């Protein structure tokens, strides 16, 4: 009795059909995974927004952008270096144990605070600070600009953050994008203003965090925090705890191309050797790896995905807290 079986041609046809089905299915699976990652990323911003509001309820203002040593000496340690705005909200995002490990009386609380397991606090990875869509890298090795200085994170394995505080439409010392200081009140170059008088947005680079009463355009019309990428900014590589890491502005457009190995890289305005002020203005900008735009947390606690094609002036108005212009249906 003759046994039935596939011929070689039939087998090849079946394999080809399976290959086609897999090729059709993979993009759908990847899209579903990215949708889930985007949802988690937006939820992280929601949690951080709630943390900011809980902090405000207690302290009557949002936390300062960072605690620097007066007069803001970047290359020196000081007991006034207490870290980024994320340090202040740790107790309000269910990270009380991590906050308790920080020693405020240490010579430098950021560099000298140690976890019970012997690691430095700045090495602790906080999932709420990480967007699952971005590159997973254990150690970005810190900002190369400060390698060799007392505040260098080189080799320190500082845990990163994918979320930064918004200074709004802020002035920079150079580069292709200049915020209109008269229009948006962001005249302090790089946001070095503890009073907030010349800070366009909600946070300064240093010891300024706005009160809700100072957000005169309305909390639902003003950006508080947004996505960032350590790969694309030297300063951001210093991690979630560092005081000179998370000062970000809306001055440069969303997803401005400052990643050297990605399409459209702007070598002229992001090269440290050719344009210092332009580099910071273009690097210290909001960006994500999500196609087409970036998530932002607004001052009312809401989260919105803004297109990278958003009108430039509208984007600056969303960054500014008191320009006097309502943005209407911007989303």
Mean pLDDT per 10-residue section of the chain, whose length is 331 residues = 64 77 62 79 97 97 87 65 93 95 87 93 96 84 88 92 97 80 85 93 95 95 96 93 94 92 86 72 94 96 96 94 74 58
The predicted model scores a pTM of 0.88
Among candidate residues 204, 205, 200, 230, the one with its CA nearest the CA of residue 215: 200
Q: What is the per-residue pLDDT for 101?
A: 95
pLDDT at residue 274 in the model: 66
pLDDT score at 35:
77
pLDDT at 278: 74
Phi, psi of 294 (to 5 degrees): -160, 145
Q: How many CB atoms lie under 10 A from the CB of residue 182?
A: 8
What pLDDT score was predicted for residue 82?
85
| Domain segments of the chain as ranges | 8-319
């Amino acid at each position: 009795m003759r046994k039935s079986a596939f011929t070689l041609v039939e087998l090849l046809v079946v394999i080809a059909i399976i290959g086609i089905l897999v090729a059709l299915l993979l993009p759908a699976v990847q899209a579903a995974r990215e949708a889930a990652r985007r949802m988690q990323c937006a939820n992280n911003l929601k949690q951080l927004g709630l943390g900011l509001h809980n902090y405000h309820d207690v302290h009557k203002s949002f936390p300062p952008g960072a605690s620097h040593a007066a007069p803001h000496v970047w290359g020196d340690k000081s007991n006034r270096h207490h870290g980024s705005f994320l340090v202040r909200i740790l107790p309000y995002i269910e990270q009380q144990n991590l906050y308790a490990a920080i020693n405020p009386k240490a010579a430098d609380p950021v560099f000298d605070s140690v976890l019970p397991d012997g690691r430095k606090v700045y090495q602790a990875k906080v999932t709420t600070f990480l967007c699952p869509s971005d590159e997973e890298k254990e150690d970005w090795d810190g900002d190369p600009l400060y390698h060799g200085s007392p505040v260098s994170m080189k080799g320190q394995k500082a845990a990163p953050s994918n979320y930064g505080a918004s200074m709004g439409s802020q002035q920079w010392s150079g580069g292709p994008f200049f915020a209109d200081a008269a229009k948006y009140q962001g005249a302090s170059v790089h946001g070095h203003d503890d009073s907030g008088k010349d800070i366009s947005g909600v946070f300064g680079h240093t010891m300024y965090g706005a009160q809700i009463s100072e957000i005169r355009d309305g909390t639902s019309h003003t950006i508080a925090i947004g996505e960032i990428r350590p790969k694309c900014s030297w300063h951001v590589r210093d991690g979630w705890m560092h005081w000179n890491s998370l000062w970000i502005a809306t001055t440069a457009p969303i997803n401005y191309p400052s990643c050297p190995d990605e399409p459209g890289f702007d070598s002229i305005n992001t090269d440290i050797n050719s344009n210092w002020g332009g580099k910071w203005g273009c690097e210290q900008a909001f960006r994500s790896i999500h196609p087409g735009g970036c998530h932002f947390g607004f001052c009312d606690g809401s989260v919105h995905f803004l297109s990278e094609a958003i009108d430039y002036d509208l984007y600056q108005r969303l960054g500014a807290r008191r320009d006097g212009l309502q943005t209407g249906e911007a989303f």
